[in-house]
Amino acid sequence: MNAMTTPSFDSADTAPGADALREVFRTADKATRQRLVPILPPQVIEFAGVSMYVDPRDNYTDRMIWRDGLPPEIKSLTALTELVEGRDAFILDIGANSGAFTIPLAAAAGPGSRVIAFEPSPVMIGRLGHNVRLNNLGEVVRIEGCALGDEAGEAILNFRERNFGQASLLPIKERVRDGGTLVPVRRFLDYTGEAEGHAVSVLKIDVEGAEVSVLGPLLDAGGWLPDAMLIETDHAEEWDTDLVGQITSLGYEVRLQAEQNTLFVRKRAA
């Protein structure tokens, strides 16, 4: 698969035989599923009042939504949704992928809310933008086509075979690497000033092990902090600093641990 294949947003929700193929895929062994992946049809999936165009051929998150009808991190998504539902929320989705968090959170948040979705992959930017349009959220969601880091500049985004959602600024093993592309890198602190005036602020980050370079400057700055942070902590053993300890020392408590994520909520927050 060419990592830079341009996605097609055809009317895929009526793909013939999709339901039968989905049942075969659900019950097949791992080897059979791997052989089936290249022929799985893109489709529009509806859940929790939103619609998501997914392409199960090239993205694990999309594949799970296609298979199960729900995002794979549904417990984490539900916990964040409960924090922002009906409220004037400021939401930062760092590593937005195709929008599995961006779209439901934007739809659930109340009037005046703003979602900034950060996604550096050119392919996933297109899919994310399509899902924003599909749900009429263009006046709520702003897509920033960049990665975030401790310094502004540019970096190589490495792609992983059949899974754009695991693209990373960190090295990927050659046997599963599927090329890469230069992407812009921006400082996270350049965006946090926009939180002022909102009733609640939440941050979700999933950047495949690069969480320290994104969040470290924010935690060290001694300024604005979100009311809640959902962080993929699956890579915590690889971090060169105790990010979890730093977060809890700033007045956060662990509200949820699920799906390789940890939800930290400030003790004064809802």
How far, CA to CA in Å, does 36 sit from each of 9, 25, 43, 57, 209? 21, 7, 16, 9, 29
Distance in angstroms (rounded) separating the CA atoms of residues 155 and 8: 27
Of 19 and 173, which is predicted with more confidence?
19
Q: pTM of the predicted model, to two decimals?
A: 0.90
| Structure confidence at residue 257 (pLDDT) | 96
pLDDT digits (tens, 9 = 90+) for 32-44: 999 999 999 999 9
Letter for the amino acid at 218? L
Confidence class of residue 6 from pLDDT cuts 50, 70 and 90? very low
pLDDT tens-digit readout, 22-71: 999 999 999 999 999 999 999 999 999 999 999 999 999 999 999 999 99
* Residue 179 in this model has a pLDDT that exceeds 90: no
Strands 163-168 and 261-266: unpaired
Q: Calculate the alpha carbon distances from 7 to 82, 110, 161 in Å.
A: 33, 32, 16
* Residue length of the chain: 270
* pLDDT average, residue stretch 191-206: 94
- pLDDT value, residue 7: 45
- The model's confidence at residue 5, banded by pLDDT at 50, 70 and 90, is very low
How would residue 119 be classed by pLDDT, with cut points 50, 70 and 90?
very high
Higher pLDDT, 124 or 269: 124
Domain 74-266: homologous superfamily in CATH: Vaccinia Virus protein VP39 (3.40.50.150)
Is the pLDDT score of 99 beyond 90? yes
Q: Indicate the domain borders of the chain.
A: 15-68, 74-266
pLDDT value, residue 4? 39
pLDDT (0 to 100) of residue 15: 62
For residues 206 and 5, give the distance between their C-alpha atoms in angstroms, rounded to a whole number. Answer: 23
In this prediction, residues 59-88 reach a mean pLDDT of 96
Would you say 191 and 92 are in contact if contact means Cβ atoms under 8 Å apart? Answer: yes
CB atoms under 10 Å from CB of 113, counted, come to 23
